[in-house]
Amino acid sequence: DAVVLAFVDEVIESVAVELAAQPADIGHLEALYRAHVQAFLKTKTAPPTQLTADRLLASARIVTSSPALMHTASQFRADAVNVALARRMGVAGDDRRLKLTAVVWGSIIMTAIGELGSHADWASVSVDDIVGRIEATYADFRAIIANAG
């Protein structure tokens, strides 16, 4: 588990930078959505010293290779994204609202990329494919909550 989380931390650091730059007047889930999409799209032109498309795709391939790894990666922890999210929300790192927001977003991400799993032809999967899955899954989520009450 620690090896997988260490591999994913590079992605998390990149997303945290983007999250900190999101406008304060948008919702927290929207900010997480935008931060992930922006961080992932930037990998396509990133220099080797930053998160590259190849490393992002390798992280996605590793995480989605087994349900146990997906579960581990989606668990709440005090990583860079959740530290930035807590700061954005103005709450402590153990606040239930922070955990709820992070877990909901983690479910969206894992649903988006989880369908790739070990069955994907990873040689043909691109950053745009992953971003497209995130966009579609987030749109589905928004439609569901629009009809929730």
Write the pLDDT tens digit of every residue in 98-128. Answer: 999 999 999 999 999 998 876 789 899 999 9
Report the helix count and the strand count for the chain, using DSSP H and E. 7, 0
Whether the pLDDT of residue 3 is over 80: the answer is: no
Whether the pLDDT of residue 4 is over 70: the answer is: no
Whether the pLDDT of residue 5 is over 80: the answer is: no
Report helix, strand or coil for 26. coil
For residues 105 and 85, give the distance between their C-alpha atoms in angstroms, rounded to a whole number. Answer: 11
Of 36, 103, 118, which is closest to residue 69 (Cα–Cα)?
A: 118
**Average model confidence (pLDDT) across the chain:** 93
Q: What is the pLDDT of residue 139?
A: 98
- Find where tokens 């931060």 sit: 35
Contact between 105 and 32 (Cβ < 8 Å): yes
The model carries a pTM of 0.93
Whether the pLDDT of residue 79 is over 80: the answer is: yes
DSSP result, 91-125: --TT-HHHHHHHHHHHHHHHHHHHTTGGGS-TTT-
